[in-house]
Amino acid sequence: MARWIDTHCHLDAPEFDADRAAVAQRARAAGVALQVLPAVMAGHFDAVRNLAHAQGLAYALGIHPLYVDRAADSDLDRLAEALQRWRDDPLLVAVGEIGLDFFVPGLDAARQQRFYLAQLKLARDAGLPVILHVRRSADQLLAGLNRVPVAGGIAHAFNGSVEQARRFTEQGFRLGFGGAMTHERALQIRRLATELPETAVVLETDAPDIPPAWLYRTAAERAAGATSRNEPSELPRIAETLAALRGWTLDETARITTANALAALPRLAALMPTAQMPTAEAP
């Protein structure tokens, strides 16, 4: 069976409260060898770390741009303290989910920028890569990386231009593709997934969010009670779309995307059995 890494999954989300252990087991049964669980706020740091240890998964610590308006300034100190306290924890693989969101209206852009730059500095000081939230903010994120270079990472749910993709990869980043890629009308995302260098692409679910096409429900269906919860066990089927777009076999897709994930988040390598550790060239 091919082995996969879900580089972005919010298994701690309340949508999984009823069956979290079963969800993790289904993922393992589907061949998802590892999941990376990014925190989104300081109050979740302990829970995300505990869940990662309970399930043998990886985790990241950060303050998401959608949560900075409700975060206290002291939460940055809490992040610094957590990164210092758990610096030798092999399951801590990145600072994230951090970034900028200029899609959701009403957010404080200046506060987002301040938290973003501060967290880049913490990642730089800790020697950790970052997991970036990118939504209508690629150029601003890149500007921040020029000011505060870090040890690469992943631009999650990437939907920018080819030129922006190139600039991220030049900074040592890989680009995350998931359920959105499975929608035939997502033309730009599918084009990127098809045309980017093979060393640039990693797979993710963002579960419980960004459901693939076969789980998608319309607003009317959701209002009627239908659910569209995504799960990490969907990753191999999502990978079939990438394989079809690239002309790869499924085994090639697993090898390439796993190698890219290990290159983006180097601490993952120690969590994978040796036989499952392909190598990747620099992007």
Query: Would you place residue 1 in the very low, low, confident or very high pLDDT band (cuts 50, 70, 90)?
Result: confident
- What percentage of the chain has pLDDT greater than the value 90? 90
pLDDT at 219: 79
Are the CB atoms for 267 and 58 separated by under 8 Å?
Answer: yes
Q: Is the dihedral of CA 245, 131, 210, 24 positive or negative?
A: positive
What are 93-113's pLDDT values in tens digits?
999 999 999 999 999 999 999
- Please give the full DSSP string across 127-161, using - where no structure is assigned: T--EEEEEES-HHHHHHHHHHS--S-EEEET----
Structure tokens at 18: 């009823």
What are 41-52's pLDDT values in tens digits?
999 999 999 999
Task: Give all domains of the chain, ordered by start, each with its CATH number.
Answer: 4-270 (3.20.20.140)
What are 105-151's pLDDT values in tens digits?
999 999 999 999 999 999 999 999 999 999 999 999 999 999 999 99
Residue with tokens 């269906």: 221
Residue 204 has pLDDT above 70, yes or no: yes
Neighbours of 267 (CB within 10 A): 16
Residue 13 has pLDDT above 60, yes or no: yes
| Nearest-angstrom CA–CA distance, 246 and 195 | 8
Element (H, E) at 264: helix 250-264
pLDDT at 273: 67
What are 22-34's pLDDT values in tens digits?
999 999 999 999 9
> Strand locations in the chain, DSSP E?
4-6, 32-38, 58-61, 92-101, 130-135, 153-156, 173-177, 201-203
pLDDT at 275: 41
Look at strands 4-6 and 92-101 and give their pairing. unpaired
| Nearest-angstrom CA–CA distance, 158 and 177 | 7
Residue 96: burial class (beta carbons within 10 Å; 0-12, 13-18, 19+): buried
> Identity (one letter) of the amino acid at 33?
A
| Nearest-angstrom CA–CA distance, 26 and 65 | 30
pLDDT at 28: 96
| Nearest-angstrom CA–CA distance, 120 and 99 | 9
Residue 83 has pLDDT above 70, yes or no: yes
